[in-house]
Amino acid sequence: MKVRKIPMRMCVGCKQMKSKKELLRIVALPSGEIEVDRTGKKSGRGAYICDNLDCFQKAYESHGLERSLKRPVSKEIYESLKAFIHHE
C-alpha cells in the first residue's frame, strides 16, 4: 500500500512547518481583497498562519503576511483577522 504524502506549509508567524490542515490560509484575491480562505481552494496568493494569537502577533510584528502575500496589508484586515482567530 502506498503511503500518502501530507502537504506541509510554513506558518508566517512562528516559521514552523505544519500540515496544511492545521493552518489557517489567508488569501490575496486577484481583485485585491484579502480574506480568510476556509476551504483552501480559492484562487490567489496564499499565506498560512497557526490559529492562535501568539503566531498572529509574531506575523503582525514581523510583517510576515505582507511579505508572503507580496502586498501591503491594512490595519483593518489585521484587526478582522485577529477577531476571526480569537473567536475560532
Q: What is the pLDDT of residues 39-85, one digit of tens each?
A: 989 999 999 999 999 999 999 999 999 999 999 999 999 999 999 98
> Measured on CA atoms in the order 55, 61, 62, 66, is the torsion positive or negative?
positive
Distance, in Å, from the CA atom of 73 to the CA atom of 76, rounded to the nearest integer, reads 8
Report the predicted TM-score, pTM, of the whole model to 2 decimal places: 0.90
- In this prediction, residue 86 carries a pLDDT of 85
| Rg for the chain, CA atoms, rounded | 13
Domain-by-domain residue ranges, the chain? 8-87
Domain 8-87: CATH superfamily is: YlxR-like (3.30.1230.10)
Bridge pairing between strands 34-37 and 24-28: antiparallel
The phi and psi torsions of 25 (rounded to 5 degrees) equal -95, 130
